[in-house]
Amino acid sequence: MKKRDFLKKTGLGAAAVAATAVNAPYVQAQSKTPIKWRLQTYAGAALAAHVVKPAIDSFNTIANGEMMIELYTADQLVPTPELFRTLQKGTIDAVQSDDDSMASPADVAVFGGYFPFATRYSLDVPVLFYQYGLADIWKEAYDEIEGVEWLSAGAWDPCHFNTVKPIRSLEDLKGLRLYTFPTAGKFLAQFGVVPVTLPYEDVEVAVQTGELDGIAWSGITEDYTVGWADVTNYFLTNNVSGAWCGSFFANTDSWAKVPAHLQELFKVCMDSSHYYRQHWYWGGEADLRVNGDKLQLTTIPDEEWATVEVAAKKFWDEVAQTSPRAARVVEIFKQYSAVMEKAGRPYRYT
């Protein structure tokens, strides 16, 4: 064989080998069946567009065909109170909700959602979880329950009241039929509130028909976003909690089937969701109080509202008696509250 022919043939062979080497991983990756998840959120469609959809869209894009998460909104697959049981069975793969609403059997479930006066601002939630140890306690609690993995907690908006009639004193709370969360409703019942449980998407109509007098489920940002500001007239500036505490959960088997790099991607996207909500809610709460034209603001005087705060501390002590783990959580709340009060402004206004 001539030298020139040899070089030509070996050159073509090398190029073919190189092409095969470059294309092989791509062909192999594309031939794998993508992992598919179904995730249901507690939020209705309008709210989910902010509190979870951006993060799921990012995950699906970056996963690049290796995994796809289908997002379902409140009650779309199963009613919210059945979310935990359904997740545990593996009928759905993941959930975004507070522990309280999804009927979690964990002894920390009472602290999900709005636990009265445990937080004053949205940043309190991540600080409590990732600096004061609540994340370790939540993981410990869910490690004892088969079939469900607790993944991450974050903050949402404060718990205010938006109502048809104005609230200007504690007396005005008596007899009010309000859509609210289980633990918040239990606490508020001592002031005459009648907690009502309904499917999320039925709330607006229930106010219009008079079945509800209002809602104690959110801050003013959600009131405008989901349409509740269109059917109520007043917004009470006092709140019973500075931030809603919610989490992401996964079915244990579903989570185990996700490779490590996609698990890490999902964790990053959860953090992205937590960050988005921090600024979306914080900015909206202020802007809509000032510039919103649908709800008139009312306030219960500080000296009168102080009695509600005193009642909350008693409520804490009652919950602390329910289990040793609940007692540990309440102790952390007390430690954190003491530090924030001593720190003063801007951490606490005392």
pLDDT for 73-109, tens place per residue?
Answer: 999 999 999 999 999 999 999 999 999 999 999 999 9
Q: Give the residue ranges of DSSP H helices in the chain.
A: 3-31, 45-51, 53-63, 83-89, 124-130, 134-143, 182-188, 203-208, 220-226, 252-256, 260-291, 302-320, 324-343
Looking at the domain assignment, is residue 311 inside a domain? yes
| Residue 44: per-residue pLDDT | 96
In angstroms, the Cα distances linking 129 to 18, 87, 108 are 50, 23, 13
Please indicate, yes or no, whether residues 79 and 111 belong to a single structural domain of this protein.
yes
Query: With bands split at pLDDT 50, 70 and 90, how would you rate the model's confidence at 2?
Result: low
What is the average per-residue pLDDT within 44-67? 98
Residue 5: which pLDDT band, with cuts at 50, 70 and 90? low
Phi, psi (rounded to 5 degrees) for 296: -85, 135
269-286: average pLDDT: 98
Looking at the structure, do residues 64 and 116 belong to the same domain, yes or no? Answer: yes
Same domain, 166 and 42: no
Asked whether residue 3 is domain-assigned, the answer is no
Same domain, 60 and 119: yes
pLDDT, residue 32, reads 79
Confidence check: pLDDT of 27 > 70: no
> Which CATH number characterizes residue 324's domain?
3.40.190.170
Over range 40-48, report the average pLDDT: 97
- Cβ distance 246 to 156 under 8 Å? yes
Looking at the fold, whether 264 and 208 belong to one and the same domain comes out as: no
Percent of the chain with pLDDT over 70: 91
How many other C-beta atoms are found inside a 10 Å radius of the C-beta of residue 59? Answer: 22
Q: What is the pLDDT of residues 293-331, one digit of tens each?
A: 999 999 999 999 999 999 999 999 999 999 999 999 999
Same-domain status, 171 and 141: no
Q: Does position 25 have pLDDT exceeding 50, yes or no?
A: no
156-177 average pLDDT score: 98
- Give per-residue pLDDT as tens, 223-252: 999 999 999 999 999 999 999 999 999 999
**Would you say residue 11 has pLDDT above 60?**
no
> What whole-number distance in Å separates Cα of residue 238 and Cα of residue 254?
42
For residue 77, the number of C-alpha atoms closer than 13 Å in the C-beta half-sphere is 21
In this structure, the answer to whether residues 136 and 94 fall within a common structural domain is yes
On whether residue 6 sits in a domain, the answer given is no
pLDDT over threshold 70, residue 18: no
| Structure token pair of residue 103 | 């009927």
Q: In the prediction, which pLDDT does 140 show?
A: 98
Does pLDDT of 164 surpass 50? yes
Residue 248, beta-bridge partner list: 96, 152
Instruction: Clarify whether residues 269 and 310 are in a common domain.
Output: no
Q: Could you tell me if residue 265 is inside a domain?
A: yes
> Confidence class of residue 350 from pLDDT cuts 50, 70 and 90?
low
25 assigned to some structural domain: no
**Token pair of 163 as six digits:** 């109502």
Are both 144 and 193 inside the same structural domain? no
Instruction: For the chain, give the mean pLDDT.
Output: 93
Residue 59 lies in a domain: yes
Total domain count for the chain?
A: 2
Rg (CA), the chain: 25
Q: Which residues contact residue 129 at a Cβ distance below 8 angstroms, ignoring those fewer than 6 apart?
A: 135, 138, 153
CB atoms within 10 A of CB 281: 24
- pLDDT score of 263 more than 50: yes
**Predicted local confidence at residue 349, as pLDDT:** 76
Q: What is the pLDDT of residues 195-225, one digit of tens each?
A: 999 999 999 999 999 999 999 999 999 999 9
Q: Do 49 and 148 belong together in one domain?
A: yes
Is 308 in the same domain as 196?
yes
Report if residue 52 sits inside a domain: yes
In angstroms, the Cα distances linking 242 to 122, 153, 245, 327 are 6, 15, 10, 21
- Dihedral Cα 173, 177, 181, 183, nearest 10 deg: 60
* Cα three-residue angle 235-240-242, rounded to 5 degrees: 90
Spatial distance between the Cα atoms of 155 and 277, rounded to a whole number of angstroms: 7
- Say yes or no to pLDDT of 15 above 70: no
Range of the domain at 237: 159-242+293-343
Sheet holding 245-251, edge to edge: 67-72, 35-41, 94-97, 245-251, 148-155
Residue 122 lies inside a defined structural domain of this protein: yes
Q: Are residues 277 and 128 in the same domain?
A: yes
